């Protein structure tokens, strides 16, 4: 495992070049940026230990470990990340590695880092499922639905993995002779995973686009895409601004009285639960149908609190 200083360098280099986009940066500019970042972190300049040779090693480490290729442009003497290499997944990988390094540093020490106690299980299946997906291998497993409590043997074609609220889900097509349809399976409900030697020919489907207008893991197959306008109080709006509810979020009003946004999504069950979780701090402006539906939901909830 790389030392803390190297982990920070890799993160800062990736962060800097990602922000520079096509412009790129020279070695000298990268070095200046690292010095500024280390100063912000109160790390002594002597601990930087950054030379041209160090940078070239870091460049290869970023490519080997994270799959991000930093190219050199001889004409301008600059380094840059190609645009298609830049996405939120690589950023998440760096952030998680920094978290692991921080955990290693405080291991055995109390009252430093407090982790969420509610953890979803099943992450030990990740490596096997990634292998099956990338090599187009048919898999079989036992799956237990929450409301049944009994496991069922399933054979399926795995397509992708998706995260939602600290849970990971497998997107797969069941091999039951019916038409192709992607279903979601929680990794924490999987047991006895087996990867066969048999392969399958995947359907041509853009998974990212498939869920483009979805909130969570429910695909709005029987829903119509809606333009939903929500109004939050100003304080709650600051949380929604820094952690958007959906990538389609557009800010309509942002002042001391109100934070109003527009989303273009399927109004699925997951999304309704999200709205209800904000209680009185959110109001559905439109569509009217969603506002009336949630009004009925709240009335039914109130029945649970009457004597």
CATH number at residue 155: 2.30.30
For residue 38, being part of any structural domain is answered with yes
User: Domain limits at 175?
Assistant: 123-205
User: Two tokens at 230?
Assistant: 């929500």
Lowest mean pLDDT among 34-48, 188-202, 226-240: 34-48
Sorted by sequence, the CB contacts under 8 Å of residue 252 that are 6+ apart come out as 229, 260, 261, 262
- The 10 Å Cβ neighbour count of residue 230 is 22
Q: What angle do CA 246, 249, 254 make, to 5 degrees?
A: 130
First to last CA, the chain: 59
Q: What angle do CA 20, 26, 30 make, to 5 degrees?
A: 70
Mean pLDDT of 76-86: 74
For residue 219, being part of any structural domain is answered with no
Based on the domain organization, do 23 and 73 belong to the same domain?
A: yes
What are the E-state strand segments in 47-189?
Answer: 70-73, 78-81, 137-144, 151-164, 167-174, 182-186
Based on the domain organization, do 128 and 102 belong to the same domain?
A: no
For residue 64, being part of any structural domain is answered with yes
Answer yes or no: are the C-beta atoms of 297 and 276 closer than 8 Å. Answer: yes
For residue 173, being part of any structural domain is answered with yes
Which of residues 205, 239, 255 is at a domain's end?
205
pLDDT of residue 251: 94
Based on the domain organization, do 129 and 42 belong to the same domain?
A: no
CA distances from 232 to 225, 268, 296 (A): 22, 20, 20
Alpha carbons 263 and 227: distance in angstroms, whole number: 6
Find where tokens 């036992």 sit.
142
pLDDT of residue 117: 64
Percent of the chain scoring above 90 in pLDDT: 25
Dihedral in degrees, nearest 10, Cα atoms 19, 23, 27, 30: -20
Q: In this model, does residue 217 exceed pLDDT 70?
A: yes
pLDDT digits (tens, 9 = 90+) for 250-270: 999 999 999 999 999 988 888
Q: What angle do CA 110, 115, 117 make, to 5 degrees?
A: 115
pLDDT of residue 86: 47
pLDDT digits (tens, 9 = 90+) for 117-163: 666 677 788 888 999 999 999 999 998 887 777 788 889 999 999 88
Q: Establish whether the linkage from the previous residue to 304 is cis, with ω within 30° of 0.
A: no
Q: What are residue 110's phi and psi, to 5 degrees?
A: -95, 160
Based on the domain organization, do 191 and 282 belong to the same domain?
A: no
R_g (Cα) of the chain, nearest Å? 24
For residue 68, being part of any structural domain is answered with yes
Based on the domain organization, do 231 and 174 belong to the same domain?
A: no
Which of residues 57, 78, 106 is at a domain's end?
106
Q: What are residue 128's phi and psi, to 5 degrees?
A: -65, -40
Based on the domain organization, do 87 and 20 belong to the same domain?
A: yes
For residue 70, being part of any structural domain is answered with yes
Alpha carbons 26 and 34: distance in angstroms, whole number: 12
Based on the domain organization, do 133 and 90 belong to the same domain?
A: no
Which of residues 106, 134, 156 is at a domain's end?
106
For residue 111, being part of any structural domain is answered with no
For residue 99, being part of any structural domain is answered with yes
- How many domains, in total, are found in the chain? 3
Based on the domain organization, do 78 and 20 belong to the same domain?
A: yes
Based on the domain organization, do 9 and 100 belong to the same domain?
A: yes
């Amino acid at each position: 495992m790389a030392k803390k200083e190297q982990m920070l360098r890799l993160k800062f280099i990736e962060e800097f070049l990602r922000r520079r986009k096509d412009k790129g940066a020279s070695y000298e500019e990268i070095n200046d940026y690292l010095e500024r970042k280390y100063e912000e972190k109160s790390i002594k300049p002597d601990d930087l230990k950054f030379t041209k040779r160090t940078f070239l090693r870091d460049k290869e480490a970023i490519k080997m470990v994270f799959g991000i290729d930093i190219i050199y442009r001889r004409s301008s003497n600059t380094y840059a990340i190609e645009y298609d290499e830049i996405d939120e997944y690589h950023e998440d990988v760096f952030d998680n590695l920094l978290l692991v390094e921080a955990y290693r540093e405080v291991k055995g020490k109390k009252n430093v880092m407090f982790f969420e106690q509610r953890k979803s299980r099943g992450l030990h299946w990740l490596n096997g499922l990634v292998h099956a997906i990338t090599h187009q291998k048919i898999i079989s497993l036992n799956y237990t639905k929450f409301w049944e409590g009994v496991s069922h043997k399933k054979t399926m074609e795995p397509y992708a993995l998706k995260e939602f609220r600290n849970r990971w889900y497998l997107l797969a097509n069941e091999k039951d002779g019916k038409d192709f349809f992607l279903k979601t399976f929680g990794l924490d409900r999987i047991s006895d995973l087996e990867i066969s030697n048999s392969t399958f020919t995947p359907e041509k489907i853009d998974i990212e686009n498939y869920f483009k207008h979805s909130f969570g893991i429910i695909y709005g197959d029987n829903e119509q895409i809606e333009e939903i306008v929500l109004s939050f109080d100003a304080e709650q709006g600051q949380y929604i601004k820094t952690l958007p509810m959906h990538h389609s979020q557009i800010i309509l009003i942002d002042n001391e009285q109100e934070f109003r946004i527009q989303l273009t999504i399927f109004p699925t069950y997951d999304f309704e639960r999200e709205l209800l979780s904000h209680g009185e701090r959110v109001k559905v402006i439109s569509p009217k149908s969603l506002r009336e539906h949630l009004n009925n939901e709240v009335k039914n909830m109130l029945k649970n609190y009457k004597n």
